[in-house]
Amino acid sequence: MDIRIGIFNSPREISFETTQAASEIEETVAAALAGQTGYLKLSDKKGRAYIVPTIGLAYVELGSEESRRVGFVA
């Protein structure tokens, strides 16, 4: 799944792919915005962690869970 995170006062966004389910990511974002942790922490396919303070969080965009197919389909 593709994830894009927008940050206030930053012209760039954080973009990465993860193996987590959409429902799991939604729960993590909701918990972070509810103030339970004060930050949003997600990890990508390669195991890198992304930690963003919730005060700077502009948006979180979840892409499709299907991977793109490459090549010919018979």
The amino acid occupying position 37 is T
- Residue 64's pLDDT is 76
Q: Using alpha carbons, select from 14, 39, 18, 44 the residue that is nearest to residue 28.
A: 39
Report yes or no on 69 lying in a domain.
Answer: no
For residues 35-60, average pLDDT = 91
- Predicted TM-score (pTM) of this structure: 0.78
Residue 74 falls inside a structural domain = no
Does some domain include residue 73?
no
Under a CB-based contact definition with an 8 Å cutoff, are residues 39 and 54 in contact? yes
Question: What is the number of structural domains in the chain?
Answer: 1
Length of the chain: 74
Separation of CA 40 from chain center: 9
Mean pLDDT of 15-27: 91
pLDDT reported for residue 68? 62
Q: Which two tokens stand for residue 3?
A: 């994830």
